[in-house]
Copies of this chain bind each other. A is one copy, B any other.
């Protein structure tokens, strides 16, 4: 959050993701975490993760894998914020969430639950809630999405992916 109250959401986590790696491994956090829905989460004791090499290769490998994926996602977000239009930014976010949620069984072929406010979408994509609203309207009018009662339907995924120049390869980290 900046002094003037503007907020940027730097990441969005789906079930299965680890969070707070930086905070735990570095001993301090430069951002907070909040939940969008009721959540079930597991805690990894600090001692176990603070020196991951003591714990056998599985944990360290999982850590590395998660960090690499987070970084790929962050890079893609930088590209979005720097170069894509508002319409493309939203389309890209929707495509990314489709892939990530589908990977953990929380999306089917045509959509997923998206328990977000428009204002939160705005903070994710670096735009105003007003402009998010207008952009969503534009997406609806192009029959790209439907969003009702917290359920987002991607009506034309190929068109969305083309519009956003969404290339899912960056999500496939071993």
User: Which residues of A come within 8 Å of B, CB atoms?
Assistant: 2-3, 6-8, 10-11, 21-22, 25-28, 30-31, 52-53, 57, 60-61, 63-64, 67-68, 70-72, 74-79, 81-84, 123, 125-126, 165, 167, 169-170, 173-174
Cβ-defined contact, A82 with B84, below 8 A: no
Q: Report the separation of the CA atoms of residues A166 and B91 in the bound assembly, to the nearest whole angstrom.
A: 31
Q: Report the separation of the CA atoms of residues A57 and B34 in the bound assembly, to the nearest whole angstrom.
A: 33
Chief secondary structure at chain A's binding surface: helix
Cβ-defined contact, A68 with B21, below 8 A: yes
Smallest CB gap from A6: residue in B: B83
Contact for A75 among B68, B74, B76, CB less than 8 A: B74
Cβ-defined contact, A72 with B30, below 8 A: yes
CB contact under 8 A between A26 and B173, given known A60-B53, A75-B10: yes
> Which residues from chain B contact A6 at a C-beta distance below 8 Å?
83
Contact for A7 among B11, B22, B83, CB less than 8 A: B83
Cβ-defined contact, B2 with A126, below 8 A: no
Cβ-defined contact, B22 with A72, below 8 A: yes
Most chain B C-beta atoms within 10 Å of own C-beta, residue among A31, A74, A76, A77 = A74
CB contact under 8 A between A81 and B126, given known A71-B74, A165-B3: yes
Q: Report the separation of the CA atoms of residues A23 and B163 in the bound assembly, to the nearest whole angstrom.
A: 26
